[in-house]
A and B are shown apart, each in its own frame.
Chain A
Amino acid sequence: MMKQILLITDGGSNVGESPVTAAAQAYAEGITVNVAGVVDEGTIGEYGVTEIADIARAGGGISQIVTSRQLSKTVQMMTRQTVAGTIRQAVNQELRQLFGVNDVGSLPPPKRGEVVKVMEEMEETMSLSVALLIDASASMKPKLHAVEEAIRDLTLSLQARTGRSQVSVFHFPGDSQYSYCVMDAGWHSNASNLGSLFGKIRMRGTTPTGPALLQVVDYIRETCGKIGKIELMDEPHASGGGSSEVRSDNVV
Chain B
Amino acid sequence: MLRAAGRARCGVTTSSEKETLPRGTEIRGKWNGKVYRLERLLGLGSNGQVYLASAGPRVICAIKIGHEAAELQGEVNILASLDHSEKGRQPFLLDVDDAVIDGRKIPFYVMRYVPGVPLKAYLKEHGSHWMGVIGYRLLERLSHLHEAGWVFGDIKSDNILVGEYGRVELVDYGGASAIGRSVRQFTEIYDRGYWSAGSRVADPAYDLFAVGLLWLHALDGKRLVQLTRTLIPQNRHPRELMKLVKSNPKLQPVEGWIEKALTGQFASTRESTKEWREAVRISQRPKPADDRVPGWMAGLLGAAIVLSTTLAAVWLLD
Which residues of A does B touch, CB under 8 Å?
53, 56, 62-64, 70, 72-74, 77-78, 80-81, 84-85, 88, 103-105, 108-109, 112-113, 115-117, 119-120, 124, 149, 152-153, 156-157, 159-162, 249-250, 252
Contacts and interface: CB of A to CB of B under 8 A. Distances in A.
A229 to B, nearest CB: 19
Interface of B: 1, 4-5, 7-12, 31, 68-71, 73-74, 76-77, 80, 96-98, 105, 107, 180-184, 188, 193-194, 199-202, 233
Nearest to A110: B96
Contacts of A162: 180-182
A124 B182 contact: yes
B181 A112 contact: no
Contact of B200 (A62, A70, A160): A160
B126 to A, nearest CB: 32
B96 A109 contact: yes
A63 B199 CA distance: 27
A63 B11 contact: yes
B181 A156 contact: no
Contacts of A62: 8-9, 11-12
Given A81-B8, A160-B200, 12 more contacts: A62-B8, A63-B11, A64-B8, A73-B4, A84-B71, A109-B97, A156-B193, A157-B193, A159-B199, A161-B182, A162-B180, A250-B201
Contacts of B73: 104, 109, 112-113, 116
Contacts of B180: 162, 252
A131 B271 CA distance: 43
Given A72-B188, A160-B199, A153 B8 contact: no
Contacts of A159: 199-200
B145 to A, nearest CB: 18
Contact of A81 (B9, B69, B98, B199): B9
A105 B107 contact: yes
B149 to A, nearest CB: 14
Of A88, A156, A249, which is in contact with the most chain B CB atoms at under 10 Å from its CB?
A156
Given A120-B74, A149-B233, A160-B183, A105 B11 contact: no
Given A73-B188, A77-B8, A116 B181 contact: no
Contact of A119 (B9, B70, B97, B184): B70
A116 B199 contact: no
Which 3 A-B pairs rank lowest in CB-CB distance, beginning with the nearest?
A105-B69, A160-B182, A160-B200
Given A70-B4, A162-B180, A252-B180, A103 B69 contact: yes
Contacts of B183: 160
Contacts of B107: 105
18 contacts: A62-B8, A62-B12, A73-B4, A74-B4, A77-B5, A81-B8, A84-B70, A104-B73, A105-B68, A105-B69, A105-B107, A112-B73, A113-B80, A120-B77, A153-B193, A153-B194, A157-B200, A160-B183
A53 B105 contact: no
A116 B70 contact: yes
Nearest to B1: A73
A115 B70 CA distance: 9
Nearest to A158: B182
Contacts of B199: 156, 159-160, 249-250
Nearest to A125: B181
Given A104-B70, A105-B98, A160-B200, A116 B77 contact: yes
A74 B74 CA distance: 21
A125 to B, nearest CB: 9
Contacts of B68: 105
A104 B66 CA distance: 14
Contacts of A161: 182
A109 B93 CA distance: 13
A153 to B, nearest CB: 7
A252 B70 CA distance: 26
Contacts of A156: 193, 199-200
Contacts of B201: 160, 250
Contacts of B31: 108-109
A115 B72 CA distance: 13
Contacts of A117: 77
A80 B69 contact: no
B71 A77 contact: no
B102 to A, nearest CB: 17
Contacts of A73: 1, 4, 188
A109 B73 CA distance: 8
A56 B11 CA distance: 9
A112 to B, nearest CB: 5
A116 B200 CA distance: 22
